[in-house]
Chain A
Amino acid sequence: MEAIIFYIFSALTLAAGLFILFSKNLIYGAFALFLAFLGVAALYVLAGADFLAVSQIMIYVGGILVLLIFGIMLTQKKEKSDDSTRHNRVEAPISRQVWGSLIGTGFFILMLKVILSSDFKMAGEEMSSKSTIKTIGVALMTSHLLPFEIAAILLLVALIGAAYLALNRNPSS
């Protein structure tokens, strides 16, 4: 049962990724990325990371994806045509397609070889089905306090920097 759900969600994730790779329209790609993020969140749940799955949905789907769609819509081409499929069209030259598929499949075959030839000896016992929120919360407030604070400062700096960069986009006007 668990294996079937795992296969379904990994197939969903990989199909969404391949759709982004082959679709010419970037908006469709962004919506396929939504499916890919949901599939990854489901894989987190299957691996016993419930808190991380909820954070994944909230941060990626609720934040990053909306930002990306904003970005796509703000950088549309100026010329308007009646053909609705022309907007957000990304032309990929054939040399880049060849290089992308070549490097992608080559790297995948390399990693597949490494993974299949490796023999992992897991020291700890497998996770029981209890919630991970308590462990993560305690670890964030004790042993991982410094990275937690640094992440907070990083987010503040990124927020201010992005707001400053995005402000007044057209200096001429």
Chain B
Amino acid sequence: MTGIPVQYYLIVAAALFCIGLAISITKRHFIGMLLGIELMLNAVNINLVAFSRHDPERLSGQLFALFVIVVAAAEVTVALGIILRVYGRFKTVDPDKVSDLKQ
């Protein structure tokens, strides 16, 4: 197995992370921001897996990535519950319009 240099994985992950960051900044929709956060979590997982390739005995990176996936699943369920609740109260999914606490 010749293998691809670890830098290639890192560059792809960095690009994916920045795309996710730009998505969560740009979209004016709660779920659009959530999509960006999912992409960012995936980019971090690519980094962990790429480094874990050189640690075949213990695979700590892959285990960490597994826990990241679990926490992402928990995060998405709770976030969607909150978004549905906010939508039921404010009838909007625009983060700028949910501004009851603002002066």
Q: Which residues of A contact B (CB under 8 A)?
A: 2-3, 6, 10, 13-14, 17-18, 20-21, 26, 29-30, 33, 36-37, 40, 43-44, 46-49, 51-52, 55-56, 59-60, 63-64, 67-68, 70-72, 74-75, 78, 90-93, 96-97, 99-101, 103-105, 107-108, 111-112, 115-116, 118, 120, 122-129, 132, 135-136, 139-140, 144, 147, 151, 154-155, 157-159, 161-166, 169-171
Name B residues whose Cβ lies closer than 8 Å to a Cβ of A: 1-4, 6-12, 14-23, 25-32, 34-36, 38-39, 42, 45-46, 49-50, 52-59, 62-63, 65-67, 69-78, 80-85, 87-89, 91, 93
B72–A147 CB distance below 8 A: no
Q: Contacts A21-B23, A75-B93, A162-B81; is A29 near B32 (CB within 8 Å)?
A: yes
Residue from the list B18, B57, B62, B72 in contact with A64, Cβ < 8 A: B72
22 contacts between A and B (CB under 8 A): A2-B3, A17-B39, A20-B39, A21-B26, A40-B16, A44-B45, A52-B45, A63-B73, A68-B76, A71-B31, A71-B83, A75-B87, A100-B22, A104-B25, A108-B18, A124-B56, A124-B57, A127-B1, A139-B59, A140-B63, A147-B67, A165-B78
Most chain A CB inside 10 Å of its own CB: which residue of B27, B46, B66: B66
Q: Given A72-B31, A92-B27, are A13 and B16 neighbors across the interface (CB < 8 Å)?
A: yes
Find chain A residues with CB under 8 A from B52 CB.
47, 49
B91 touches A78 (CB 8 A): yes
Contact of B32 among A3, A46, A48, A90 (CB under 8 A): A90
- Which residue from B4, B78, B81 sits with its C-beta under 8 Å from A3? B4
Could you tell me if B49 and A44 are in contact, using CB atoms closer than 8 angstroms?
A: yes
Q: Can you name 17 extra interface pairs (CB under 8 A) apart from A20-B39, A155-B70, A163-B81?
A: A21-B26, A30-B35, A36-B42, A44-B49, A59-B69, A67-B76, A92-B28, A100-B21, A105-B18, A124-B56, A126-B3, A126-B54, A135-B58, A139-B63, A140-B63, A144-B63, A169-B88
